[in-house]
Homo-oligomer: A and B are copies of this chain.
Amino acid sequence: MKKFLNNPKDFVDEMLEGIYFAHGEAVEPANGELRCLVSKHKKKGKVGIATGGGSGHLPLFLGYVGKGMLDGCAVGGVFQSPTSDEMLSVTKEIDSGEGVLYIYGNYNGDIFNFDMAAEMAEMEGIRVKTVVAGEDVATGPRPISGEKNIRRGVAGIFFVYKIAGAAAAEMLTLDEVYQLALEASKRVASMGVALSPCVVPRIGHASFEIGENEMEIGMGIHGETGIRRGELKKADEIVDEVLPLLISDLNLGENDEIAVLINGLGATPLEEQYIINRRVAKTLRDRKIKVYKTYVGEYATSMEMAGVSISLFHLDATMKKYLLLSADTPMFKQF
């Protein structure tokens, strides 16, 4: 795997400079801090939504900062949490007095730093609520109400962003946006299938291998171990293994309505993602589960990892309303 880069240690900052050059009309560094990316479109009285996480997953996380989605993102090194100071800078920049909602993936480093940032923000008089998104069915059972969620966050966080972002744009209060984001996070289930590893620039080689004729079902977006490794199967067979786990996790039945996200992990061509979608759509049709909207493309990647993930989002009238509202960010647009 070969990369376009200069000095590996500059990977994230140079990427960010390239992003500010390309999307200078939409985003800017808060107080000149490159890694504290905030939207230029500030709306008085709106709840702020912040996210953050390691780099290497574009368009996740920062690509969703913009109209109808997020207001700011703290950007970490590749696969490393941003600092609590960076999160605090973003928080202060995007608060307009109505409070800030944190939405991020279920990783220990991010939780530790966001919790610290929330405490610091509260001390400065900014109200903060938090939704930790974790929906990877490969990583453990759905938490029973009140229990800690042990599932790691993968591409399904896109749906949580979309719902919360639309609700905030509609000028709902912090408590209302929080409740909707929390509800959305419980209605998502995902699982990925990896065909090849990825290379962290500062390491320079893959930190694990997947054999020539192998795939790994349930691998995480940092290469975390999945539920099984085995011979590479046909596209339809892979869907037939993964999709029932998601349907069952969400307890979906006839006439339930869902949104589907077929997510490319990096190197897998869009053509193949649509071949996956074909089988997903056919299976759902056979089961009389209604697909209300489908997203196909790269929404949460692992640099040049080959693979896809499938996410289902169980809808109701409220979720449908916010899902359909428009969004205009550097890396996701919906009319």
Residues of A bordering B, CB below 8 Å = 1-6, 11, 14-19, 21-23, 55-56, 58-59, 63, 195-196, 212-213, 215, 232, 234-236, 238, 262, 266-278, 281-282, 291, 294-298, 301, 303-304, 306, 308, 328, 331, 333-335
Contacts and interface: CB of A to CB of B under 8 A. Distances in A.
Given A15-B275, A18-B275, A269 B6 contact: no
Contacts of A303: 269, 271
Contacts of A278: 14-15, 17-18, 21
B4 A275 contact: yes
A196 B306 CA distance: 14
B1 A306 contact: yes
A4 B235 contact: yes
Contacts of A335: 328, 333, 335
A62 B331 CA distance: 20
Nearest to A10: B275
Q: Please state the number of chain copies in the assembly.
A: 2
Given A267-B304, A304-B306, A4 B272 contact: yes
Nearest to A5: B235
Given A2-B195, A11-B271, A21-B281, 14 more contacts: A2-B212, A2-B215, A2-B306, A4-B235, A4-B275, A5-B235, A14-B278, A16-B274, A18-B281, A21-B294, A22-B295, A56-B269, A58-B269, A269-B301
Q: Is the interface of A mostly helix, strand, loop or mixed?
A: mixed
A215, A274, A276, most chain B CB atoms within 10 A? A274
A215, A295, A335, most chain B CB atoms within 10 A? A335
A16 B334 CA distance: 22
Given A2-B196, A22-B294, A14 B306 contact: no
A327 to B, nearest CB: 10
Given A306-B304, A328-B335, A19 B58 contact: no
Nearest to A238: B4
A1, A22, A296, most chain B CB atoms within 10 A? A22
Contacts of A267: 266-267, 304, 306
